[in-house]
Structure 1
């Protein structure tokens, strides 16, 4: 079974609505699902009482007041009921597909990441309803649900205790999501692409809670520290780089997204620590991509709809 971990924004207006939707979807995954909510954003304590989920307000924060990922996963390592844990943003809807995805994993350590589906502004989807698959298909046909690029990583599934030795990392700021795959590469932790097994749906929101908007998320002091401490200034990793792929209830080698130049770059950078050579290979890769010699394989919304066919 699984424990969901998250640190929400203030539960106000539209943000409060989508965050409640997200938590409700996690609780519906299985009767024994555990949800732990971290931080002291406005309304969090009341919502946790209302929805019957655990609330942990006392965690470590950066000087700007944003929670550290390290503090969250360390608490979960000690106190969470389940060994399999999923940290995810509090606007992400999850379905019961996640349970099937985590069953075949034979690795003692791993990280599962994947692409998400984006809902358009003003679109609601209740994944706890019996007809949610049909509704998602309808939204796709109307152009109101689309696949996000691999660069957007909103969920991270891992076993208890895998983050020992992780340098300080501030959630929700630039460099945060790419730092986790980089840590896995450096520490020989298998990286698994869960896109074809896990239906993760992102509800639309703006960045009105931040004075600087998206720019603040990407370039604030916390973001600069994330990139510096984790050395993720360039060529950031995402689900396309995963060595393994979850398909039809099994973990297989990721030959679908095989990119030899990229694999060489990652080996030089993380295994051999030849950073300059890795940058040279990266430059060659960019040229090859620009001239369409290399065409990186992303999964599309059609790939996801195939998963929703009856009997799959």
Structure 2
């Protein structure tokens, strides 16, 4: 199981200069790679007051150019907001810069204002997502999108919280980027319907954990940032309620407790990847630095030890 860090690059109240926000994130990513983290994932939203990352593949390219080993993923790029050919070209560039380390996560999106801003069809977003996956892979295969990616094939994921998205992931042969036992059935149904081996199912996603040596002390300092993140999804559009409930409540815990939580949540599921938010916007640097250190150096080792301990023989 690969352990990763998840970046949305929020900056409430623009408290820090934007170049510093991005430079600090890239510095921590480099340190996390040296300490042993397996993957870095980026996110996408538009129009947030705190500057939520709007260009996940652009930032993924910066990560790719500054790292040597970690997988570089999008969780997710909102497929209906970008033409499939542009998606294929941008993703290929990231794969080239990383020498074949891209994990391309695509989603349907859920915030109506983001679609309205670019004239995209909100109601048709799931159909657009499924079409985009096929188009991107076809553009790579037939040479329409140049230059080509290094990997053949590039690992593709679908970020989905419900059965419709899980079936799309299955039909297209993609991984399911959401950890939920209730979605495994629809996902495998989709794999079978698409002519794929149901045994090839792979899942991954966010485990909303923040690591600290003293969770009780850290929790008090983290609470205001957690409230900000949840409140930022509020609004009058129909997607707001879905967004505020999208992620499980943040848990602050030690590395050992985190390994236990992850083992419990992934038991019996074909999970290959888990990741934690690298930062909860506005946190003090000492909290973020220690969290990143514990995730990168502690979680992979603890999870591997658990795996070894339960291996046959």
Alignment TM class, shorter chain as reference: under 0.3
TM-score, normalised to structure 1, is 0.27
TM-score, normalised to structure 2, is 0.27
